[in-house]
Amino acid sequence: MIELYHIWKQYQKPHWAISDVSLEIDTGDFCFITGPSGSGKTTLLRILFREILPTEGQILIDGVNVLKIPDHKINKLRRLMGIVFQDFRLMFHQSVFANVAIPLQITGLPDKEIRRRVFNSLRQVNLHHKMWEYPARLSYGEQQRVAIARAIVNRPKILLADEPTGNLDPELAFEIMSIFKEINEQGATVIIGSHDRELIRYFGHKIFFLQKGKIIGQEMKP
């Protein structure tokens, strides 16, 4: 269970990027945060990942107030979470394998276990055959899948994705979203920031509508 209570975020006065957002996401949900560009989707996801702190408010994950976790313990929280950034944040001087292995190396897993998990993660996104390629030699869609493989390699309980299909053609966008749905069916709670109405209509279970930093509506599908 993820609970947000009265979240506010201000980068520069007098404007608020997020204004009094409260919402609940149940364990195992597949949900979208949607709205036009500049509505606050990316800011809200970065707050959830605790990459940035809100100006005001509380965030509870399984009853724990994540804003009170000391900085030196934040990696323990992030082991529960995977995130696919809008700009991917891949290391282009490292192989696909090395990019995906980063979250596992931080935890100190043995090399044999790292190799096994990285291979399985890349196989899930159908890129295991390009494990030793460099991201610069991959297509945009393949780079996207590397980012997804890195996000899921730690078997996160919560997966966040920021506009994961924003620059993809409809067929590839559907394929990427199907990967997220498969991850959700394996038990992860998936939260996606997107403005793609067609994909949201097809895949969305719980949908939060964001506009000018405020939640203006919520939809729940059976």
Interatomic CA distance for residues 18 and 41, integer angstroms: 9
Q: Look up the CATH number of domain 2-9+23-220.
A: 3.40.50.300
Low-confidence ranges of the chain (pLDDT < 70): none
Selection from 57, 10, 51, 20 nearest residue 215 by Cα? 20
pLDDT at residue 100, rounded to an integer: 96
Q: Domain limits of the chain?
A: 2-9+23-220
pLDDT at residue 55, rounded to an integer: 95
| Secondary structure (3-state) at 157 | coil
pLDDT at residue 220, rounded to an integer: 87
pLDDT at residue 123, rounded to an integer: 94
pLDDT at residue 171, rounded to an integer: 87
**pLDDT tens, 149-179?**
999 999 899 999 999 887 788 888 898 899 8
Interatomic CA distance for residues 134 and 95, integer angstroms: 5
DSSP-derived pairing of the beta strands 206-211 and 30-34 = parallel
Interatomic CA distance for residues 75 and 108, integer angstroms: 12
pLDDT at residue 108, rounded to an integer: 83
DSSP-derived pairing of the beta strands 158-162 and 2-9 = unpaired
Selection from 171, 173, 170, 148 nearest residue 161 by Cα? 148
Q: Does this model's pTM top 0.75?
A: yes
**pLDDT tens, 7-17?**
999 998 888 99
pLDDT at residue 98, rounded to an integer: 96
pLDDT at residue 25, rounded to an integer: 95
pLDDT at residue 76, rounded to an integer: 80
To 5 degrees, how large is the angle CA 136–CA 44–CA 126?
A: 35
